[in-house]
């Protein structure tokens, strides 16, 4: 007869001992202390347990940068960022109809009594072709050249004293020459900094501005030079610094610049063109029958992502080509597989996309393409992880892709957005942990890029949040800076300009 062992039983058929499941009758077992945090399946830690930021900080002191839970270990920094993103403070500026199609924050140098100082400015554009400049400063700061725009808080309505923890920017506008009427809709505004080898002139601050075009003429590409000091006391319009680089016989939907600030890619209704900003020389690098709604250059400037009306995302070689290269662009046939469960209407749409893609001409980096369910709304590349990019389509889909593994589909998806036909811009914070998008239901939504969970969803305006700008850090070399570097994002719509901030 086998000897009895506490906590085990003997199986005669297998001739071995097995541990007993559960406590041994009559024995005492120490109760394990619960983990500091626990999470329900499919929900975030802080959302499930309603943990306050102070508790999260306390956990960091006790557990270090890694917090242990029943579902594993989590980064304190990531969880704290998600906690902050889920509790934003939002203010509205009364700029109705002025910031609905293009938005960018840049640095500029101003002549003041204390000397040359650096400040932040907002460049905005709307569908009516109005290009505007706003000077950004602190609320309560004295402006000397124009009326102030003081914001009203729209979310949350019962913020209490927490609003005082956030540096809230004020705006000044309508000083002489701050508004320029362009020939057509402002379709895109991009920061375009040109770096020099000389230390004294480390960079030239410029903005790339494109117009959509009209029935009588195509779109145009402009450069606004902000390298020299701005004299706001002068009655000369600031936009005398605006120079035309080139024009097209086509609709210009979008644009992007390389890091050196000397080249730009332009997305049109007949393909994508490469423009030398210094000379204005233009060459086509991609021709297709589908509109290019979004373009994005990688950090090297050699590869371009094109998002098309037919739902395709193409990777194109954007390196400079000899003259007349566009006349001999290689042709491509891109296969597209429809789902067997697709309806007849969907199959027809898929077939049309396939026929359009067969007429593509360009030097593609790969023979395959990514297809999203509807027209591409926006593409946003990640800087810290340069092989990854976010893409949204007009059916509301938002996905994260790895450019090296496109055959496997999306790496991460972000559910809950609402769209049907509107081009809505994605916003990514500087730490590349949060992605922001508006919806046709007038809601603003924020997701964690890594986990895909929705962090914030709220409606605080009566228009579609269509454009977003997350300011970049850094200033102009050699200039004393007195501007207010805000921790947050700018959001534009027909309803006005909004600022979204978080406590520091």
Pairing, β 434-438 against β 454-458: unpaired
C-alpha 258/C-alpha 474 separation (Å) is 18
| Crossing angle between the packed helical segments 53-63 and 76-85, to the nearest 10 degrees | 180
Per the DSSP assignment, residues forming a β-bridge with 68 are: 73
**DSSP letter string over 99-130?**
SSSEEEEEEEEEEETTEEEEEEEEEEE-TT-E
Q: Where are the domains of the chain?
A: 34-86, 91-501
Kindly report the CA angle at 164 between 158 and 169, in degrees rounded to 5? 105
Res 31: pLDDT? 40
Q: What is the pLDDT of residue 308?
A: 95
According to the model, what pLDDT value does residue 173 have?
Answer: 60
With beta carbons less than 8 A apart as the criterion, state whether 218 and 251 touch.
Answer: yes
Report yes or no on whether pTM surpasses 0.75. yes
pLDDT at 43: 41
Q: What is the pLDDT along the chain (504 residues), one digit of tens a residue?
A: 677 777 676 777 777 777 765 443 443 444 443 333 333 333 443 444 345 566 656 666 556 666 666 656 667 777 778 888 898 999 999 888 889 999 999 888 877 667 777 888 899 999 999 999 888 876 555 555 555 677 889 988 775 545 445 666 767 665 556 788 999 999 999 998 765 544 344 446 899 999 999 988 999 999 999 888 877 666 666 777 899 999 999 999 999 999 888 999 999 999 999 999 999 999 999 998 899 999 999 988 889 999 999 999 999 988 865 444 445 666 655 555 444 444 555 545 454 454 444 467 777 776 678 999 999 999 999 998 888 999 999 999 999 999 888 888 899 999 999 999 999 999 999 999 999 999 999 999 999 999 999 999 999 999 999 999 998 654 333 333 333 344 689 999 999 999 998 875
- C-alpha radius of gyration, the chain, whole number: 27
Q: What pLDDT is recorded for position 210?
A: 98
Phi, psi of 180 (to 5 degrees): -130, 130
pLDDT of residue 198: 44
pLDDT at 135: 84
The pLDDT of residue 199: 38
Q: CB of 60 within 8 A of CB of 73?
A: no
Residue 426 neighbours by CB under 8 Å, 6+ apart: 378, 380, 390, 392, 398, 435, 436, 437, 468
91-501 topology per CATH: Methylamine Dehydrogenase; Chain H (2.130.10)
For position 82, what pLDDT does the model report?
85
Q: Residue 408 and residue 411: Cα distance in Å, rounded?
A: 8
Alpha-carbon gap, residue 129 to 186, rounded angstroms: 5
Strands 480-481 vs 115-125: parallel, antiparallel or unpaired: parallel
What was the pLDDT predicted at 48?
40
Phi and psi based region of residue 13 (left: phi greater than 0; alpha: psi -120 to 50; beta: remaining): alpha
Which pLDDT score, from 0 to 100, does residue 428 have?
Answer: 95
Using an 8 Å Cβ cutoff, are 489 and 429 in contact?
Answer: yes
């Amino acid at each position: 007869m086998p000897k009895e062992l506490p906590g085990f039983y003997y199986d005669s058929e297998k001739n071995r001992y097995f541990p007993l499941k559960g406590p041994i009758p009559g024995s005492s077992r120490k109760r394990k202390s619960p983990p500091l945090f626990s999470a329900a399946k499919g929900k975030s830690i802080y959302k499930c347990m309603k943990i306050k930021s102070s508790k999260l900080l306390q956990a960091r002191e006790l557990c270090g940068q890694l917090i242990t839970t029943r579902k594993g270990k989590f980064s304190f920094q990531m969880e704290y960022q998600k906690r902050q993103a889920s509790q934003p403070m939002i203010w509205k500026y009364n700029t109705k109809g002025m910031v609905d199609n293009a938005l960018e924050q840049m640095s500029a140098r101003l002549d003041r009594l204390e000397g040359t100082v650096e400040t932040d400015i907002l460049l905005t554009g709307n569908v009516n072709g109005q290009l505007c400049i706003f000077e950004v400063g602190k609320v309560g700061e004295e402006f000397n050249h124009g009326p102030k725009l003081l914001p009203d808080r729209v979310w949350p309505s019962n913020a209490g004293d927490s609003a005082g923890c956030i540096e809230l920017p004020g705006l000044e506008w309508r000083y002489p020459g701050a508004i320029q009427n362009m020939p057509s809709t402002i379709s895109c505004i991009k920061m375009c900094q040109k770096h020099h080898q000389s230390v004294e002139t480390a960079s030239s601050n410029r903005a790339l501005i494109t117009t959509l075009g009209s029935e009588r003429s195509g779109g145009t590409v402009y450069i606004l030079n902000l390298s020299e000091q701005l004299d706001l006391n002068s009655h000369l319009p600031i936009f005398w610094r605006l120079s035309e680089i080139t024009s097209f016989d086509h609709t210009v939907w979008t644009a992007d610049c390389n890091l050196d600030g000397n080249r730009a890619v332009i997305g049109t209704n007949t393909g994508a063109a490469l423009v030398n900003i210094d000379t204005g020389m233009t060459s086509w690098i991609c021709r297709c029958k589908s509109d290019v709604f979004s373009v994005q250059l990688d950090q090297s400037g050699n590869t371009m992502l094109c998002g098309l009306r037919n739902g395709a995302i193409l990777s194109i070689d954007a390196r400079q080509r000899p003259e007349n290269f566009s006349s001999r662009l290689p042709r491509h046939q891109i296969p597209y597989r429809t789902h067997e469960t697709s309806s007849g209407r969907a199959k027809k749409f898929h077939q049309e996309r396939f026929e359009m893609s067969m007429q593509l001409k360009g030097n593609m980096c790969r023979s395959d393409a990514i297809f999203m369910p509807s027209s591409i709304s926006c593409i946003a590349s990640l800087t810290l992880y340069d092989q990854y990019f976010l893409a949204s389509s007009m059916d509301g889909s938002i996905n994260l892709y790895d450019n090296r593994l496109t055959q496997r589909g999306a790496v991460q998806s972000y559910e809950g957005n609402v769209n049907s036909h509107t081009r809505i811009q994605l916003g990514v914070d500087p730490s590349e942990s949060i992605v922001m998008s508006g919806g046709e239901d007038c809601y603003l939504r924020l997701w964690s890029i890594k986990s895909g969970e929705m962090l914030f969803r709220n409606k605080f305006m009566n228009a579609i949040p269509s454009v977003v700008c997350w300011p970049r850090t850094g200033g102009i070399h050699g200039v004393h800076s007195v501007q207010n570097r805000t921790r947050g994002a700018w959001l534009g719509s027909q309803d006005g300009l909004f600022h979204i901030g978080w406590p520091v």
